[in-house]
Amino acid sequence: MDAGAAYMKFLAQGVLLDSKVVTFREVSRALHVHNNTAKQMLYDFHKSENEKRPGAVYVTYVVFGTKKKPTEHRNGADDDVEMTSSMPDSSPGDVIAQAFSLDLIPEELLEDALEDYEEVRSIHVYSAAAHSAKDMALLADTAQEAHGSRNGEDNLSGDRDYVITNPSVRRRERKGAATNVAATPAGTKVTRKEIKSAFSKPAPAPSKLKEEVKASQPAPEAEKASSSAPAKKPTPSLKRGGSANSGIMQAFSKAATMAKKEKPTSQPATPSGDDSSVQPMSDDGEDDSEMPQPKARAGTGRKSRKEREEELRRMMEEEDEDEEEEKAPSPEPEEEPPASPPAKEEPAEIMTTTSDGRRRGKRKIMRKKQIMDDQGYLVTIQEPGWESFSEDEPALPPKKTTSSAPPAPAAKGKKSGPKGNQGSIMSFFSKK
């Protein structure tokens, strides 16, 4: 019974260890067995586990048959006295349609449910779980994911085994159809999982994995922010924070109004300080695609409607923002300061001495400062300040003050204004 051992092991892993809901389709897919065999495997697993320890595994059954009191379908001709009398041609409608029922029943209700049946044509185990299947929505989610297409796989390529095949199926061959089909699910896959990971309540086991994800996620973001484009990152996030006006964003809106000026840099800083607080709004789209995908997913609930709407709104706003930014940079004047300083930087440099090939002087820089605000959050603010320097080559940036200071690249000798902040294209057109 090595085959038997294989599926027992698979099911024990899935149901008991990962506390997932395992449907026959999942078994069938994972072990490459026929659907019907998978149903028997689930049954066998349920039986043997509950012999060892009653109540260890709960299953749901699918029952197909006719109910004892067939839902008497209203027959129009019966209560249609007027018509039948008026239409002598109409035959007295004695046609009652046979009504079948296909029910999904948790095992504890099976016995009662069966009493309603007159005839059972078919019964089998649908799914197994370590707990009673109270929430059918949870099961629906699992069941849906057992379908190829919902996993983002190309189910058109025909790699899937169908119980009923259709030899006459026709498809049209289109150029680029394959890429289209492949691309669409891939994109949705990411967003789907990403939502899931934020929604970690029902599954204790995978949530550990997610902790790692959370921890690892801010890292690339922070790197990106500090190394490549220091000004780019904060600007859009400020806008998003400032303009979001409902839902989760509301929690942040207070802070946003209080410290609008401080906001830009707070974004990269907060994740390292207290990552759980920022988690709900972490999905900036581009960042999340970098995060490792948690493989274990079962048990996570269906993504709620609110979250989906929220996601949608955020997406839409982002788009709108981009446009608005082009045509109207004024609505939030606070966003200007981070954009302007680099432009003024050059004249702010004051030379005091230029002797023996060395330059000494003071220049104005933006200093980063971390403070704890009244709500107990660590925020990083930028402050203008003077810094003295002494150097032998004219444009060498100082490595003096703050260790984490990113303004260094911006302070390079050449005019790096437009590059340093891609925030507003309007600065390009402004009178000089």
Partner 1 sequence: MVTLKDVLHSGLLQKPSGDEPKVLQRSESNYTPLQTFNLGKDLQYQQQFADIYFLRLTKIKPSLEEVANSAWEGTVIGDETAKKVERVLDVRQGELCWVVATVYMDMPAKPNILEDVSKDRWISAPSTVQKYYSEDGLDSVMLEDESGRIRLVGNVLKKYFLVTGCIIAAMGTENANGEFDIIDLKFANLPPQPERWELSKSSQKGTKSGRKETKIKDEDVEMIDSAPSTQGKKIAIVSGLEFSGSDSSYAMELNLLLEFLLGDILDPAAQSETAQISRLVIAGNSITSEIKAVEEPTEKKLHKKYGYDSTAYNAQPSKLFDDFLSELLPTIPITLLPGLLDPANASYPQQPIHPAMFPKSRAYTSIPGAAEPGWLDTVTNPWEGEVEGWRVLGTSGQNLDDIFKYVDSDDRLGMMEAMCRWRCSAPTAPDTLWAYPFQDDEPFVMKECPHLYFVGCQPEFGTTVISGPDGQMVRLVLVPSFSATREVVLVDMETLDVSTVKFTA
Figure out which of the listed residues 170, 201, 295, 327 binds partner 1, where binding follows CB under 8 A: 170
Q: Does 309 bind partner 1 (CB under 8 A)?
A: yes
Figure out which of the listed residues 19, 50, 132, 155 binds partner 1, where binding follows CB under 8 A: 155
Q: Does 302 bind partner 1 (CB under 8 A)?
A: yes
Binding to partner 1, residues 329-368 (CB under 8 A): none
Q: Does 90 bind partner 1 (CB under 8 A)?
A: yes
Figure out which of the listed residues 6, 140, 328, 395 binds partner 1, where binding follows CB under 8 A: 140
> DSSP character for 233?
T
Q: Does 123 bind partner 1 (CB under 8 A)?
A: yes
Long-range contacts of 172-180 (CB under 8 A, 24+ apart): 178/154
Q: How far is the CA of 224 from the CAs of 43, 165, 268, in angstroms?
A: 52, 51, 10
Q: Residue 228 or residue 245: which is nearer to partner 1 going by CB?
A: 245
Figure out which of the listed residues 44, 153, 284, 373 binds partner 1, where binding follows CB under 8 A: 44
Q: Does 156 bind partner 1 (CB under 8 A)?
A: yes
Burial of residue 241 (number of CB atoms within 10 Å: 0-12, 13-18, 19+) = buried
40: nearest Cα among 21, 54, 27 = 27
Sheet holding 358-372, edge to edge: 350-355, 358-372, 378-391
Q: Residue 164 or residue 429: which is nearer to partner 1 going by CB?
A: 164
Q: Does 40 bind partner 1 (CB under 8 A)?
A: yes
* Smallest distance from partner 1 to CB 55, Å: 17
* Smallest distance from partner 1 to CB 284, Å: 18
Q: Residue 173 or residue 286: which is nearer to partner 1 going by CB?
A: 173
Transcribe 31-87 into DSSP letters.
Answer: HT--HHHHHHHHHHHHHHHHHHSTTS-EEEEEEEEEESS---PPPHHHH-HHHHHH-
Neighbours of 103 (CB within 10 A): 18
Q: Does 76 bind partner 1 (CB under 8 A)?
A: yes
With contacts defined by CB under 8 A, name the span among 177-185, 209-217, 225-233, 352-360 that binds partner 1: 177-185
Q: Does 301 bind partner 1 (CB under 8 A)?
A: no
Q: How many residues bind partner 1 (CB under 8 A)?
A: 107
